[in-house]
Chains A and B, each alone.
Chain A
């Protein structure tokens, strides 16, 4: 009986430890995925002939007037981890509210719009991590802001924020220069 009890408690502890380590691993994988999404967005922005309209609304207000090529057909895609649908409209509102709260009483409150969004598996089929990537962009007085998020199971997410500046003499995407990277702002 004693040994059965000890064995069971050890097995329970082992399971808990494995679960904690798993969550830690998944969080790290999401962080890498968000950075990958940010890199993808930068490369897509650099392909644009002009970044002047990137912060403007397209036919759907939540989406940038010049979205990237990695976009899904729906704004309510299924979570790749088998959960319910992600509401990208609601997520955009949430990101906007978070940014506004962080800005406080500062004069500048840039408007965030969807730029690229899709499942990580569509980008890297054997990534092994069920993540959904969403990148928003905003124009903050000539500075292009990028906010890349990787969403995972159980409301987990990782963010990476970038600020980019266009070349002084041109607004071509090719001239964009990364000023700051803020992992998990």
Chain B
């Protein structure tokens, strides 16, 4: 009868792992901790980016749209009459692009070639019926600019239209106009930043209505460069609600061709 050996033989002992030393375990733990820490921090920062990135992309897209509208209006500034005694750039008769000390900018331009006419009779201050030579192209409800060579100008609201007569709103005007003055469909818009609402707004000067263009704007700066050939507009966009969004500065140049013509 054979008995099992009471202790492992030397050959069996050679297959048994001798185990890890304390130093090896400590090193392994340190490496694992470092790798796990790095991984967790990567996940956290990726989560943070995933949270803020859609908002940043949205902010950029909204800024792009607002900039496009603003740039289009500034580029049209000064567009004047195509025909008549006062034909040519509007800047000859009135300020087509005005930058105020508060950073706001007002642009004025005649919007449609087909809605331009000459007054065939004088227009006293309180009169609402305007006798014209070509009223057919005007649209009821549109804004029009009456102006003459003396620098007088008034924005009026057209309420009714015939070929030879325009009826305008009864809002008080600054001047009386003689026959030969011009009237044309026009846009007069002021872009400004409301510091309380932190909003870029567009005000229609003929109706007085204000339209929000872009939220989260802390500042707008408008510079007229190269003898009014170029206008540089800089917008400072404040971070939105999410943490981690950085301040965005948008700066763009707009050529204003009608200001060179004058």
Q: Which residues of A does B touch, CB under 8 Å? A: 2-3, 6-7, 9-10, 13, 16-17, 20, 24, 35, 102-108, 140-141, 143, 145, 161, 163, 165, 178-184
Contact = CB atoms under 8 A, between A and B. Distances in A.
Contacts of A103: 113-114, 137
Given A10-B46, A143-B83, A104 B113 contact: no
A13 B87 CA distance: 50
B57 A13 contact: yes
A182 to B, nearest CB: 6
A178 B82 CA distance: 9
B46 A20 contact: no
B79 A181 contact: yes
Contacts of B81: 179-180
B114 A17 contact: no
B257 interface: yes
10 contacts: A3-B42, A3-B46, A10-B46, A13-B57, A16-B57, A102-B112, A104-B114, A140-B82, A165-B87, A179-B82
B258 A181 contact: yes
A102 B43 contact: no
A10 B46 CA distance: 9
Interface of B: 42-43, 46-47, 49-50, 53-54, 57, 60-61, 64, 68, 72, 75-76, 79-83, 87-89, 110, 112-115, 134, 136-137, 139, 163, 255, 257-258, 261
A45 B136 CA distance: 30
Contact of A163 (B64, B82, B136): B82
Nearest to A5: B50
B136 A2 contact: no
B188 to A, nearest CB: 16
B80 A24 contact: no
Contacts of A2: 43
A177 B261 CA distance: 9
A179 B257 contact: no
A106 B258 contact: no
A55 to B, nearest CB: 15
Contacts of B88: 179-180
Contact of A183 (B49, B61, B113, B257): B257
Given A6-B47, A6-B50, A180-B79, A17 B60 contact: yes
A181 B113 CA distance: 11
Given A17-B57, A102-B114, A163-B113, A180 B136 contact: no
Contacts of A35: 255, 257
Contact of B46 (A7, A141, A178): A7
B57 A106 contact: no
Contacts of A140: 82-83, 113
A13 B54 contact: yes
Given A104-B136, A108-B114, A179 B87 contact: yes
A116 B81 CA distance: 25
A183 B75 contact: yes
B136 A105 contact: yes
B136 A107 contact: yes
A104 B249 CA distance: 42
B125 to A, nearest CB: 28
Given A13-B57, A103-B137, A106-B137, 12 more contacts: A9-B50, A10-B46, A20-B60, A20-B61, A102-B112, A103-B114, A105-B136, A106-B134, A141-B83, A179-B87, A179-B89, A181-B79
Given A163-B82, A178-B261, A13 B53 contact: yes
Q: Which 9 A-B pairs have the closest CB atoms?
A: A106-B137, A181-B257, A106-B114, A163-B82, A103-B114, A6-B46, A183-B75, A105-B136, A17-B57
B82 A20 contact: no
Contacts of A105: 136-137
A108 to B, nearest CB: 7
| Most chain B CB within a 10 A radius of its CB, from A9, A140, A178, A183 | A183
Contacts of A163: 82, 113
